[in-house]
Amino acid sequence: MTRPRIRVAAYVIRHRAVPEVLVFDHAGMPEAGTQVPAGGVKSGEGLEEAVLREVAEETGLLTATVVRQIAVEDKPHPDTGQPRRTSFFFLKAPADTPDAWVHHVNGDGDDGGLAFACRFLPLPLKQPLADDQDAWLGHLDPRWTTVTGDSQ
């Protein structure tokens, strides 16, 4: 049996008039869908360290803080079918974080050279995220369950 790829995913929540979650779209790649920051854990890296790194790499946001881990999901990759184990985390972003920005990914990783259009969306979401990444939002607050998505 193939060992699962160990991953992390971040629900970065900002509180203003309503709670909002940080999402991004790949500029020029609409087929990738709207996503939350997520990615693989490097060898020797802790899960909290990995989730903060992924948020910084994919969005440029350096002011998010980890609140707690929410869930661990064992689910194969939607395209390759390879096993994955993703730990979902709840992070907080300061209220004065910008509403939207474009982040250009530096480095030589899989995302290197890509541009991500980042923004905050009010909760609950009106549409599910790519790969059902929104599935665990309702575990933070039942009112945050995606309106049209399936709940876990």
Could you identify the residue written with the tokens 């699962």?
Answer: 4
> Does residue 147 come out as left (phi exceeding 0), alpha (psi in the -120 to 50 range) or beta?
alpha
What digits encode the pLDDT tens for the residues 59-118? 999 999 999 999 999 999 888 889 999 999 999 999 999 999 999 987 666 777 889 999
Residue ranges per domain, the chain? 5-144
Identity at 97, one-letter amino acid code: T
Q: Is the pLDDT of residue 150 over 50?
A: no
CATH (one of 3.40.50.720, 3.90.79.10, 3.50.50.60, 1.20.1740.10) for 5-144: 3.90.79.10
pLDDT for the residue numbered 27: 86
